């Protein structure tokens, strides 16, 4: 009897192993014909912290102590990556623009240093071209509206440098939008979502063809943008609030609005957003895929690992090489090949193309060049060139008024001696 039990265990182990191999082989087959597109990776910030952006001092083939390097990318079949041009909130009102430009620069230099592995991409077609060349399409997303210093001109300039999404806030309010921390009471509500300038900014992003990223924003901002935007929106790295009630995740009612808007929610792998605890595993992440699919359909889900931007990742998803294992798990859960292809990249490509279509339809619309009101951004580190005080005469700037007052004062003094 003991021998029979042992034989059964061996046979069961063999069958289980064979089935697991079958799912993984199916996953690799699907990933060979459909690009895996990930919405968010913070390797550029790791390079800032570890090497002060001195790319000459690092080899991305042998880089250790990160979730991401080139061999891991190849093993994970990562076909396209939005690299985050992220700088922390404490740069707001200081040097956020400079530091963000430096993060944009290092992403470009990664592509230049490793041209056989990375191809810089700025369009949906570029992603497919890179996929056909077996290179990882490298796109830029700016993570945090504080990076543009409340300037549409700065945002347009970043678009010209290849930035293709802006995360409206990070973990601080900007002078025009509330961040996710207002929803748990950590930060004060300042604008009940978006200010008038913030609403105009959304339309300007539509005009220029930049994806609006709602990761990190308050629920009020989520709803306002979904109502305002003429183009689909993305959550580049957020999970389902219905599983983990964290304020960084997406509530069910918003999932349904994303479906109506034909947008995408790209699932985050950070343990705290996956299970609302320090520990998680690959199966827990797959639960978020299942949940979003159940609530709003497979047409709005994608991958947004947040690798190298988080301190804890699930067991079984330790780095970017593990994507095929997650895809295999979805197949094991009876996801169809079409559902998997949608999640891998077809959803993001559809959203990107729709954003480009809206951009093309607005090509005759003039850029919005009305600056944010000075009183909303005035601080000791900001000059006021170009602004006019409400009380000043037409054509007289605040600086001109000060000069005029000085002249009048001197004239009055001279008159006393004449």
Between helix 2-33 and helix 323-332 the angle, nearest 10°, is 110
Give buried/exposed letters for 363-398 (b at 16+ CB in 10 A, else e): eeeeebeeebeeeebeeeeeeeeebbeeeeeeeeeb
- Active site residue: 38, 126, 149, 170, which one? 170
- Active site residue: 149, 183, 204, 306, which one? 306
| Four-residue CA torsion sign, 60, 61, 64, 67 | positive
Give buried/exposed letters for 257-283 (b at 16+ CB in 10 A, else e): bbbebebbbbbbbbbbbbbeeeebebe
Report d(CA 302, CA 344) in Å as an integer: 6
Determine how many CB atoms are found less than 10 A away from the CB of residue 252. 14
Q: Is 306 a catalytic residue?
A: yes
Report d(CA 325, CA 20) in Å as an integer: 9
Report d(CA 327, CA 344) in Å as an integer: 8
Report d(CA 103, CA 47) in Å as an integer: 9
- Active site residue: 38, 117, 126, 143, which one? 143
Tell me the H-state helices in 34-134.
43-51, 70-75, 96-113, 124-132
- For residue 110, CA distances in Å to 106, 142, 180, 246 come to 6, 16, 31, 34
Report d(CA 150, CA 177) in Å as an integer: 10
Determine how many CB atoms are found less than 10 A away from the CB of residue 354. 18
- Active site residue: 67, 146, 216, 288, which one? 216
Look up residue 35 and give its two tokens.
């690009």
- 359 close to 209: Cβ distance less than 8 angstroms: yes
Q: Is 143 a catalytic residue?
A: yes
Exposed/middle/buried for residue 223 (C-beta within 10 Å: 0-12, 13-18, 19+): middle
| Short-list 20, 325, 359, 4, CA closest to 156 | 359
Angular region, 366: left φ>0, alpha ψ -120 to 50, beta rest: beta
Q: Is 288 a catalytic residue?
A: no
- Nearest 5 degrees, angle CA 173-CA 86-CA 272? 75
Maximum Cα–Cα distance across the chain: 124
The residues annotated as belonging to the active site are 40, 42, 143, 170, 216, 237, 306
């Amino acid at each position: 009897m003991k021998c029979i039990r042992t034989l059964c265990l061996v046979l069961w182990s063999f069958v289980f192993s064979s089935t697991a191999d079958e799912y993984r082989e199916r996953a690799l087959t699907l990933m060979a014909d459909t690009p895996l597109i990930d919405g968010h990776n913070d390797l550029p910030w790791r390079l800032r912290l570890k090497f002060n952006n001195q790319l000459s001092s690092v080899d991305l083939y042998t880089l250790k102590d990160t979730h991401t390097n080139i061999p891991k990318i190849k093993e994970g079949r990562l076909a396209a990556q939005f690299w985050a041009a992220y700088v922390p909130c404490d740069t707001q009102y200081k040097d956020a623009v400079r530091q963000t430009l430096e993060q944009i620069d290092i992403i470009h230099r990664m592509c230049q240093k490793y041209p056989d592995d990375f191809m810089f991409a700025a369009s949906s077609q570029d992603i497919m071209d890179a996929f056909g060349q077996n290179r990882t399409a490298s796109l830029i997303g700016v993570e945090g509206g504080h990076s543009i210093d409340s300037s549409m001109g700065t945002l347009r300039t970043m678009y010209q440098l290849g930035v293709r999404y802006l995360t409206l806030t990070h973990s601080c309010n900007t002078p025009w939008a509330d961040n996710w921390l207002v929803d748990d009471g950590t930060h004060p509500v300042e604008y009940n979502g978006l200010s008038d300038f913030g609403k105009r900014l959304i339309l300007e992003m539509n005009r220029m063809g930049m994806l609006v990223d709602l990761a990190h924003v308050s629920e009020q901002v989520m709803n306002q943008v979904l109502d305002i935007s003429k183009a689909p929106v993305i959550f580049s790295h957020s999970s389902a609030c219905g599983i983990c009630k964290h304020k960084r995740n997406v509530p069910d009612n918003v999932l349904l609005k994303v479906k109506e808007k034909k947008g995408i929610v790209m699932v985050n792998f950070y343990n705290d957003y996956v299970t609302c605890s320090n520990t998680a595993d690959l199966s827990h992440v797959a639960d978020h895929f299942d949940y979003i699919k159940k609530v709003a359909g497979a047409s709005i889900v994608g991958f947004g690992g947040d690798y190298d931007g988080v301190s804890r990742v699930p067991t079984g998803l330790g780095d970017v090489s593990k994507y095929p294992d997650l895809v295999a798990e979805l197949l094991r859960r009876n996801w169809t090949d079409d559902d998997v292809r949608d999640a891998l990249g077809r959803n993001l490509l559809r959203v990107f193309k729709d954003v480009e279509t809206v951009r093309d339809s607005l090509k005759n619309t003039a850029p919005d060049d009305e600056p944010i009101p000075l009183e909303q951004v005035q601080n000791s580190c900001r000059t006021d060139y170009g602004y006019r005080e409400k009380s000043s005469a037409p054509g007289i700037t605040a600086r001109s008024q000060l000069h005029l007052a000085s002249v009048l004062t001197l004239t009055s003094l001279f008159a006393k001696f004449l």
